[in-house]
Amino acid sequence: MDFNHKLISWYSDKKRELPWRETSNPYYIWLSEIILQQTQVKQGLPYYNAFITQYPTIFDLANASETSILKLWQGLGYYSRARNLHFTAKHIVNELNGKFPDTYNDLLKLKGVGDYTASAIASIAFNEVAAVVDGNVYRVLSRYFGIETPINSTLGIKEFKSLASTLIDLHQPATYNQAIMEFGAIQCKPKNPDCSVCPFQDSCVALQNQMVDVLPVKLKKTKVTVKYFNFLVFMDPNKKTLFEKRTKKGIWQHLYQFPLIESEKSLTPEEFHLLNFEDYVLKQETLDYSLYNEADIVHKLSHQHLHTKFWIIDVAELPEEAILIKTLTKYPSPVLISEFIDNFSF
DNA sequence: AAGGCGGGGGG
DNA sequence: CCCCCAGCCTT
Dump pLDDT digits (tens) for A84-123: 999 999 999 999 999 999 999 999 999 999 999 999 999 9
A227, A171, A247: which is closest to A5 by C-alpha? A171
Mapped onto helix, strand or coil, the DSSP state of residue A102 is: coil
Annotate A128-147 with DSSP letters as a single string: -------HHHHHHHHHHTT-
Q: What is the CA A157 to C1' B2 distance in angstroms? A: 15
Which pLDDT band holds residue A278 (cuts at 50, 70, 90)?
A: confident
Closest amino acid to nucleotide B7 (CA–C1'): A77
Q: Residues A24-73: pLDDT tens digits?
A: 999 999 999 999 999 999 999 999 999 999 999 999 999 999 999 999 99
Q: What is the CA A316 to C1' C9 distance in angstroms? A: 44
**Nearest-angstrom CA–CA distance, A240 and A318:** 8
Beta bridge partners of A221: none
Which pLDDT band holds residue A281 (cuts at 50, 70, 90)?
A: confident
Q: Could you tell me the sign of the dihedral formed by the alpha carbons of A27, A21, A183, A3, in that order?
A: negative
Strand C nucleotides with an atom less than 7 Å from a protein beta carbon: 2-9, 11
Instruction: Judge whether residue A135 contacts strand B, using its CB and a 7 Å cut-off.
Output: no
A282, pLDDT greater than 70? no
Strand B nucleotides with an atom less than 7 Å from a protein beta carbon: 1-11
Active-site hit among A17, A22, A33, A285: A33
Closest amino acid to nucleotide C10 (CA–C1'): A249
Residues 299-328 of A with CB under 7 A from strand B: 299, 301-304
Residue A346: predicted pLDDT: 86
Nearest nt to the CA of A18 via C1' is C6
Q: Which residues contact A339 (CB under 8 A, 6 or more apart)?
A: none
Q: What is the CA A261 to C1' B3 distance in angstroms? A: 25
Residue A283: predicted pLDDT: 61
Q: At CA A276, angle to CA A271 and CA A282, rounded to 5?
A: 135
A15, A28, A94, A35: which is closest to A57 by C-alpha? A28
A288, pLDDT greater than 90? no
Q: Which phi and psi (to 5°) does residue A194 adopt?
A: -90, 85
Q: Which residues contact A223 (CB under 8 A, 6 or more apart)?
A: A303
Mean predicted confidence (pLDDT) in A173-188: 98
Instruction: Judge whether residue A27 contacts strand C, using its CB and a 7 Å cut-off.
Output: no
Q: What is the CA A182 to C1' C2 distance in angstroms? A: 24
**Nearest-angstrom CA–CA distance, A334 and A71:** 10
**Nearest-angstrom CA–CA distance, A178 and A22:** 13
A330, pLDDT greater than 70? yes
Domains in chain A: ranges and CATH: 3-208 (1.10.340.30), 225-343 (3.90.79.10)
Residue A71 has a CB neighbour count (10 Å cut-off) of 19
Q: What is the CA A192 to C1' B11 distance in angstroms? A: 9
Instruction: Judge whether residue A222 contacts strand B, using its CB and a 7 Å cut-off.
Output: yes
Instruction: Judge whether residue A40 contacts strand B, using its CB and a 7 Å cut-off.
Output: yes
For residue A216, cis peptide bond before it (omega within 30 degrees of 0): yes
Mean pLDDT score across all residues of chain A: 95
Q: Is A33 a catalytic residue?
A: yes
Q: What is the CA A201 to C1' C10 distance in angstroms? A: 42
Beta bridge partners of A309: A230
